[in-house]
Chain A
């Protein structure tokens, strides 16, 4: 009962901490326009800002003649009402650009993370169970190899081997129809999982090894519980806690991978959008994406923290009123 109260208090405090953080993020995103060499006008209409009438129109529209704080106020007002500005390059609204491309990226991230967990956790636990054995050494080697191989290199190598040398998979793009779309997602999905997979395997193995030495394992053995049940029922469950704490980093690394994977495979998702907007220095789109990514990262971190304290019964809330 007291723990539930403590948990609630912790959650409230953690969520309240979001307010200054979101404010900070919004200020940084707002200032991105002002960081562009050539100033905000150049950022908002591209490089050739020679026509005075256009410049004046832009200055009036984005309140650029007002003071910085009141510019910020006007910008927040727009953002809160769902208006993230207009792309310099396509003249589409940033919001609709993002909305169109969000689903593919979400699917890609979900595939990558699921694969990483489905392969990484069993592999890491098996490696720990056979510490020093051949399987263990292979798993450790694989984890080091995967976590130091950049996904864009892996993407190109796989593209070459499986799409050009042996034509099993399509070269890229989205495909049409559910089956075809799913088929197009296989290779990008595999590449998405490699970075997180190395990480998950490493963490699972390390924490399984640590848990194995714990006293409760010796007691359970002494009481005659089978090795298998100890591993499945006790060791693994405890060993997954470090994985949960690291999941923020894992999710962020998958997010980064999206940019490269979508670029190599020509998938029109958020990563592809970021790359195009980088190529065109399309600041409004970059602002929108940064805002989205920052809020996602913040929410993930909060969710991870809350999950962690609610799962691990050793966490106490004595310091919190």
Chain B
């Protein structure tokens, strides 16, 4: 008896609070966003000035993370590189959100031919080796960063569509949808006002995972010299270039590497947490 009395309030309290780990993840994402948008104004060193007397130097008070193979300040490049690390994945995740919201809900709600065609396309796309395909296309078309973003956006959307369609199927049989139909609300409004509101959290969770995946994929392309143009401060590019001076200044490649990992892990954990939060809410606990 006492056990129940003790356990019950703990459960209600735990439900409301955001776990400390997730707070840290949000914190790190915020730091990266700040670095990308206001960070450059606070830098004391410029990212592209070479210091010919300090090639691949270890960290000092002057260069917080040392210098790279051309003597440029690694810390400044890390801060400025945050922008290209965020913008591409953001566009990819956002396009996934919009397209899968429109197509996935329609496929799930309307069913029939719309659903069949959509699922055929999605089934075909899931079998494609996405990153390899992107590597080849970007090489052949010689497009660079934005072509990579475009190709990844297209390839990324299939998982989102599948998920939204599934969630919509679950919603379709619920009472509120039927009620809306009986009252005479248009199909469009049912799909994109009522159902959309109920699948948006799960979709956001999925987009967080997409963001992390896109971050890693774009960094990988830059790492192979296919993403950001040479010379720009980009985490993937810094990683490759820094690998050459791993003996002299390991931070030149470890710092951007760790930045990629921590950002990807944070965003993934946030996505997981959102997903669980949503399923807790859905199951009414």
Q: Give 8 A-B pairs besides A148-B267, A152-B257, A260-B220 with Cβ atoms closer than 8 angstroms.
A: A36-B142, A37-B142, A148-B264, A150-B216, A150-B219, A157-B257, A263-B224, A293-B129
For B227-263 the 0/1 string (1 means CB < 8 A from A) is 0000000000001001100110010011001101100
Give Cα A35–Cα B258 distance, bound, in whole angstroms: 36
B170 at the interface (CB under 8 A from A): no
A145 at the interface (CB under 8 A from B): yes
Chain B residues, Cβ within 8 Å of A256? 129, 131-132
Give Cα A149–Cα B267 distance, bound, in whole angstroms: 12
Q: Is the CB of A286 within 8 A of B136?
A: yes
B145 at the interface (CB under 8 A from A): no
Contacts A260-B220, A286-B139, A293-B129; is A153 near B272 (CB within 8 Å)? Answer: no
Q: Is the CB of B139 within 8 A of A255?
A: no
Task: Write the nearest CB–CB distance from B177 to chain A, whole angstroms.
Answer: 28
Q: Is the CB of A144 within 8 A of B246?
A: no
Q: Is the CB of A259 within 8 A of B132?
A: yes
Chain A residues, Cβ within 8 Å of B127? 248, 297-298, 301
Chain B residues, Cβ within 8 Å of A259? 132, 135, 224
Q: Is the CB of B220 within 8 A of A150?
A: yes
Chain A residues, Cβ within 8 Å of B265? 144-145, 148-149
Q: Is the CB of A159 within 8 A of B142?
A: no
Residue of B nearest to A251 (CB): B129
Chain B residues, Cβ within 8 Å of A297? 127-129
Give Cα A298–Cα B127 distance, bound, in whole angstroms: 8
Contacts A278-B139, A286-B139, A293-B129; is A152 near B268 (CB within 8 Å)? Answer: no
Chain A residues, Cβ within 8 Å of B260? 150, 153
B140 at the interface (CB under 8 A from A): yes
Give Cα A207–Cα B258 distance, bound, in whole angstroms: 32
Give Cα A160–Cα B250 distance, bound, in whole angstroms: 7
Give Cα A145–Cα B258 distance, bound, in whole angstroms: 12
Chain A residues, Cβ within 8 Å of B253? 156, 160
Give the number of A-B contacts (CB < 8 Å).
101
Which listed residue, A36, A148, A156, A278, touches B226 by the CB 8 Å rule?
Answer: A278
A164 at the interface (CB under 8 A from B): yes
Chain A residues, Cβ within 8 Å of B129? 252, 255-256, 293, 297
Which listed residue, B136, B226, B239, B267, touches A153 by the CB 8 Å rule?
Answer: B239
Q: Is the CB of B239 within 8 A of A144?
A: no
Give Cα A293–Cα B226 distance, bound, in whole angstroms: 19
A275 at the interface (CB under 8 A from B): yes
For A247-268 the 0/1 string (1 means CB < 8 A from B) is 0110010011001100110000
Q: Is the CB of A156 within 8 A of B257?
A: yes
Contacts A149-B264, A256-B129, A259-B132; is A144 near B141 (CB within 8 Å)? Answer: no
Q: Is the CB of B136 within 8 A of A164?
A: no
For B127-156 the 0/1 string (1 means CB < 8 A from A) is 111011001100111100000000000000
Chain B residues, Cβ within 8 Å of A45? none
Interface centre among A152, A256, A275, A283 (most CB of B within 10 A): A152
Among residues 6 to 35 in chain A, which have CB atoms less than 8 Å away from a CB atom of chain B?
32, 35
Interface centre among A36, A150, A279, A293 (most CB of B within 10 A): A150
Interface centre among B127, B129, B246 (most CB of A within 10 A): B129
Contacts A148-B216, A153-B257; is A35 near B140 (CB within 8 Å)? Answer: yes
Number of interface residues of B (CB under 8 A): 38
Q: Is the CB of B243 within 8 A of A264?
A: yes
Q: Is the CB of B223 within 8 A of A255?
A: no
Chain A residues, Cβ within 8 Å of B136? 32, 286, 290
Q: Is the CB of A35 within 8 A of B261?
A: no
A123 at the interface (CB under 8 A from B): no
Which listed residue, B131, B254, B264, B267, touches A156 by the CB 8 Å rule?
Answer: B254
Which listed residue, A152, A164, A281, touches B139 by the CB 8 Å rule?
Answer: A281
Give Cα A158–Cα B34 distance, bound, in whole angstroms: 30
B225 at the interface (CB under 8 A from A): yes
Q: Is the CB of A156 within 8 A of B246?
A: yes
Residue of B nearest to A24 (CB): B124
Chain B residues, Cβ within 8 Å of A157? 254, 257-258
A274 at the interface (CB under 8 A from B): yes
Task: Write the nearest CB–CB distance from A135 to chain B, whole angstroms.
Answer: 18
Residue of B nearest to A304 (CB): B127
B212 at the interface (CB under 8 A from A): yes
Q: Is the CB of B140 within 8 A of A286?
A: yes
B269 at the interface (CB under 8 A from A): yes
Give Cα A264–Cα B242 distance, bound, in whole angstroms: 12
Residue of A nearest to B143 (CB): A37
Give Cα A297–Cα B132 distance, bound, in whole angstroms: 11
For A126-166 the 0/1 string (1 means CB < 8 A from B) is 00000000000000000011011110110011011000100
Chain A residues, Cβ within 8 Å of B267? 148
Among residues 67 to 118 in chain B, which have CB atoms less than 8 Å away from a CB atom of chain A?
none
Among residues 292 to 321 in chain A, which have CB atoms less than 8 Å away from a CB atom of chain B?
293, 297-298, 301
Interface centre among B127, B219, B267, B268 (most CB of A within 10 A): B127
Task: Write the nearest CB–CB distance from B217 to chain A, whole angstroms.
Answer: 8
Chain B residues, Cβ within 8 Å of A144? 265, 268-269, 272
